[in-house]
Amino acid sequence: MAKEKLGLKETLGLSPRQNIKKTVIDVEKTEKAVKELHSTGKKEITRLSVDIDKELFKKMKVKLAQEGMTVRDYVLSLIEADILK
C-alpha cells in the first residue's frame, strides 16, 4: 500500500520545485534612484517631539477637528506667526 502525500503543495497541486528567476541588482544605481525620489523639491526637515498635558491635547484636537486642521499644520502656523511677527 502506497503512502499518500497530504502536504500543502500536494493539496494545492503545486510542483515540489519551481525555478526561481535570478536577477542581478545594481546597488549603486538603485541607491541613486532612491535618493532622487526622496529628494525632489523637498526641504530638509527636523523632527520635533513635545510632551503635553493630556487634557490640553484633547482640547487642542477638538478645536483642530472643528477647523479641519492637523496638529502639524497648527504647530507650524504658531511657530511661523511667532517668528515672522
Instruction: Confirm whether 7 is domain-assigned.
Output: no
This prediction's pTM: 0.49
First to last CA, the chain: 90
Residue-range definition of the domain harbouring residue 61: 48-85
Residue 83 phi, psi (nearest 5)? -75, -35
Instruction: Confirm whether 27 is domain-assigned.
Output: no
Number of domains in the chain: 1
Q: What is the pLDDT along the chain (85 residues), one digit of tens a residue?
A: 556 667 776 777 666 666 777 788 888 988 888 888 777 676 778 899 999 999 999 999 999 999 999 999 999 999 999 998 7
Instruction: Confirm whether 58 is domain-assigned.
Output: yes
CA distances from 70 to 3, 7, 64, 74, 83 (A): 64, 52, 6, 6, 20
Instruction: Confirm whether 67 is domain-assigned.
Output: yes
